[in-house]
Homo-oligomer: A and B are copies of this chain.
């Protein structure tokens, strides 16, 4: 009987899950080929899908079946884990009143437009009332969801399930304490890095072909995916239909290339989910942090490594004749230049985490009533001064630079840094398990690394919670050690310092 309830639940979940895939397809379309005039219609379509999915997961039927299924004792690990996710989804979606969900949905396009205008006009004051409204609605949402210590936890749970913000706090503060002096030393003693030779002219066609070759080498399956261009690079879709985008800068080959590799990492995760979990609660990525770990691992640990460029430097020189005389070491240093900067998305691998810290502290503080949003520009600038030693000359380049808060994405930012930490810890474990990983990378052979990630991370889907998965694969809970050690090794090398 209960097993019957289980299979009924899985049938219901499969519709919920597959309608989510449909939403991804039309979302991809929206960001690539949709005619501009269709924006309003698309908004309606997406909200109808959202409403149908919401009704499906919060239905009385699901509630009753969950009760029935919970009485069953002899469930397999897969079944227990599936039920845990489904119950979590049901409870969280049921906890927030539909009225509030709709209010948030209606506010989103308005606040995005307001943010765009405020940023363009470099005017924080006009955005403030809407930003306050966004935080107010998210606070209400947190109240409905419930939390043990801080309302921030209720929001973080959407992006990094199972990680309380206290834990994130500890990890990220530990990270900050060690990064700030490291950055300071590099700035003061590291000497200049010349990235002139990689800022020449590059045709889009050649950049595309170069990126496509790297993606093929990484193991991206073009039969089950594709690549396009869009204003902001992203990856969308899952399993047999995974699509990534990039953008091109004709004067700098880094933006397109590292977006290819970064999005490629996300895409490999999605293409690597296990077929037997398709349409079930386990057939999805385990957390945003772990998803980000896959993009960061390929982008930074692989794509900015010396072995990687040992392989690709000759190909790069053949592709772009104007780079014929650039030396490998020069390339490697240029791709790993550290420079405190104002804009998060342009930051290097090391300082990137300090940008995240600023946002994490502010959004957490605001949710806890410790930061008044009226003071946001001053608080922001103060953090940048303390962590990065620089001060934004304007709010457009300061607290108005990110779209996230206008979209209601509060609790999202920490997953970027957690991703870096997961990535470093996973790479450390991969090096432990695989013989001569650098040797393979040097030959442009990524198959062993991909297989390792497939077996240990991708194919597991949501069978384990993120930190549990990490312990099983790396033998340790998540921490900053592996990342710090990786940073120290790399930047000691790049800057000739004993960090």
Contact = CB atoms under 8 A, between A and B. Distances in A.
A226 B48 contact: no
A355 to B, nearest CB: 34
Contacts of A14: 48
A102 to B, nearest CB: 14
Interface of A is mostly: helix
Interface in A1-50: 14-15, 18-19, 21-22, 25-26, 29, 33-38, 40-42, 44-45, 48-49
Nearest to A19: B48
Nearest to A239: B41
A25 B36 contact: no
Central interface residue in A15, A25, A228, A243, by most chain B CB within 10 Å: A25
Nearest to A56: B52
A438 interface: no
B239 A48 contact: no
Interface stretch (A217-225, A288-296, A385-393, A444-452): A217-225
A245 to B, nearest CB: 12
Interface in A274-313: 279
A402 interface: no
Contacts of A44: 18, 279
Contacts of A25: 25-26, 29, 45
A241 interface: yes
Contact of A45 (B18, B36, B221, B243): B18
A123 interface: no
A240 interface: yes
A372 B404 CA distance: 65
A45 B21 contact: yes
Contacts of A41: 21, 239-241
Contact of A241 (B22, B42, B51, B224): B42
Interface string A234-273: 0000011101000000000000000000000000000000
Contacts of A26: 22, 25-26
A13 to B, nearest CB: 12
Contacts of A52: 15, 19, 52
Contacts of A243: 35
Contact of A224 (B22, B35, B222, B240): B35
A455 to B, nearest CB: 21
A15 B48 contact: yes
A38 B38 CA distance: 25
Nearest to A36: B223
A33 B226 contact: yes
Contacts of A241: 34-35, 37-38, 41-42
B45 A22 contact: yes
A18 B48 contact: yes
Contacts of A37: 221, 223-225, 240-241
A33 B35 contact: no
A226 to B, nearest CB: 5
A155 B84 CA distance: 47
A420 B1 CA distance: 60
B18 A240 contact: no
A197 to B, nearest CB: 36
Nearest to A25: B26
Nearest to A243: B35
Nearest to A224: B37
A224 B223 CA distance: 30
Nearest to A22: B45
Nearest to A40: B240
Contacts of A33: 33, 226, 228
Contacts of A225: 35, 37
A267 to B, nearest CB: 11
A224 B38 CA distance: 6
A44 B238 CA distance: 14
Interface string A41-67: 110110011011000000000000000
Contacts of A36: 223
Given A25-B25, A33-B33, A33-B226, A240 B45 contact: no
A476 to B, nearest CB: 36
Given A19-B48, A33-B226, 15 more contacts: A15-B51, A15-B52, A22-B45, A22-B48, A25-B29, A26-B26, A35-B225, A35-B240, A35-B241, A36-B223, A37-B224, A37-B241, A41-B239, A41-B240, A42-B241
